[in-house]
Amino acid sequence: MNKKIALEEHFQLPSYQPDPVNLLGKITEQSYIAELGRRLGDPIIRLAEMDQSGIELSVLSLTTPGIQGEIDPIQAVRRARQMNDELFETFIRPYSNRFAGFAALPLQDPKAAVEEMTRVVRDMGFKGAMINGFSNNGGPEKGEYLDEEKVLPFWEAVAKLEVPVYIHPRMPLEGQRRIYDGYPVLMGSAWGFGVETATHALRLILSGLFDRFPNIKIVLGHFGETLPYAASRIDHRLQFHTRESRGKQKGKVIDYLRKNFYFTTSGFSHDQALMNAVSEIGTDHLLFSADYPFEDLREASTWFDRSPLSESDRQKIAYQNAKALLKL
């Protein structure tokens, strides 16, 4: 199937080498890491694989933890601007019909994040932002989440610009990793990524953010990090808690998931997971993605092209929903 649009596709260039040592690099096969490095920064390799997979457009974002991993706010601001400019010059400007961008933003300084997002959306045509979970600020053990009061100016700008925000996983703060002791592989994409990101999304819902800004759109990968599957259980249990403890939101969790959230197929080539998301969320808020280069474009595309969808739903998930969301 041609004309697919992919939204969770990552890049990193040699000019950006994050300071923190990435634990994933210690527990991952080195041949896999080397291959990732080759693909992350090369538009020619990427375009060839997109052509083989029927992907017309890839929306690129700085790989995790990206700017969220910076502990110095001043450096975060500088590096965010640098990476957005290099994404534009390396991928988007020379291949404007094949690549688009999600902004990397320094949420360590929400005012600067607003300025940078406004710049790249209005001046460079970026389609929204990719936030890699909580933002470190002042040290590796200091994490700030997107529901906190200081971030409200950012959400006001998002609502005004009418662009989506993609929340991407990262490993939990070091002080929250005791449960993974002895099993570090569970901290990453196999398990911990999804738990961390699903909890972050629930914080946004329970904070009342979407009642305050009803037009905000959030994108989550991996079929919503289990949230479509778990929403009925969450709503059922919340009713037994006090009004003060169960959040500021006015509606049910599932209502916000269906209205304010979009879910991609990234890294999850599985028929049963797809059909669960369809039954809980519907096809209007599902989007194709691959999670390149961490996943294989051709494998993700081959699965999707053969998945048990009607052709009208396949077209919606492949590209029609993305066109509407990103205003393409």
Could you list the active site residues?
A: 291
Burial of 78 (0-12, 13-18, 19+ CB in 10 A): middle
DSSP 306: H
- How far apart, in Å, do the first and last CA atoms of the chain sit? 19
Angstrom distance (rounded) from CA 287 to CA 272: 16
User: Please, which residues have CB within 8 angstroms of residue 172's CB and are 6 or more apart in sequence?
Assistant: 187, 192, 195, 196
Which residue, among 89, 156, 153, has the nearest Cα to 124 in the 3D structure? 89
Which residue, among 154, 161, 156, has the nearest Cα to 111 in the 3D structure? 154
Angstrom distance (rounded) from CA 12 to CA 132: 14
Q: Which two tokens stand for residue 191?
A: 């398990």
